[in-house]
Copies of this chain bind each other. A is one copy, B any other.
Amino acid sequence: MSAILPGGFGNFSHSEMDLLQSVLLSKEITKGASLLKPGQICQSLYFIGSGSFIQFKEKDEIDQQVIDLHVEQEWMLNQQSFVRQQPSETFIQAYTDSRVHELTIAALHELIRLSPVFFQLARLLDPTPSRIKLFDDQLSPAEKYQFILEHRPALLQAFPLKVIASYLKMTPETLSRVREKLSKA
């Protein structure tokens, strides 16, 4: 196995990368299948080799709220559930046929036991600055859209606008208007 993992999420030597990759489990996930369901406890980090995932919550019988969107070459997990080892409230569902590389919590502990260097992976357990910016600050719909345009443009390629709208916590109508305004600005 070689180079399934990108740089950028840690400072690892070649041998450390090899070690890391050796404990990963490669899995194929077909479109629509779930890696995590409400009630389950998130036990793994997943690195997406290819494909895309939607993490969402059932608001009511009809509607679902998109919590996060994940595209290839990104790590993915339910942070809350993983860190506190508590039942998830969200689904993590493949939006397309996908391949993931799974790092179980046991494997993570083993890595850290072997070398404290792997401590760095713990950073994956915290919300990214990008997510914090998007939802902690209170941005206007236009600002939210511009933010992902700038910081997560891949999402716009990977998902339909109604999914993006739900992720950004606005209606599809509002997103449509924001885009229209921006396109002629």
What residues make up the interface of A, taking CB atoms closer than 8 Å to B?
A: 67, 79-80, 83-84, 122-123, 125-127, 129, 132, 135-136, 138, 169
Contacts and interface: CB of A to CB of B under 8 A. Distances in A.
Contacts of A169: 138
A13 to B, nearest CB: 21
Contacts of A122: 122
Contact of A126 (B83, B129, B136): B83
Contacts of A127: 127
A80 B125 contact: no
B129 A80 contact: yes
Given A84-B129, A126-B126, A135-B136, 13 more contacts: A67-B136, A79-B126, A80-B126, A80-B129, A80-B132, A83-B123, A83-B126, A84-B123, A122-B122, A125-B126, A127-B127, A135-B135, A138-B169
A151 to B, nearest CB: 16
Contacts of A129: 80, 84
Give chain A's interface secondary structure class: helix
Contacts of A83: 123, 126
Contacts of A84: 123, 126, 129
A168 B122 CA distance: 30
Contacts of A138: 169
A74 B136 CA distance: 21
Contacts of A135: 135-136
Nearest to A79: B126
Nearest to A127: B127
A42 B73 CA distance: 30
17 contacts: A67-B136, A79-B126, A80-B126, A80-B129, A80-B132, A83-B123, A83-B126, A84-B123, A84-B126, A84-B129, A122-B122, A125-B126, A126-B126, A127-B127, A135-B135, A135-B136, A138-B169
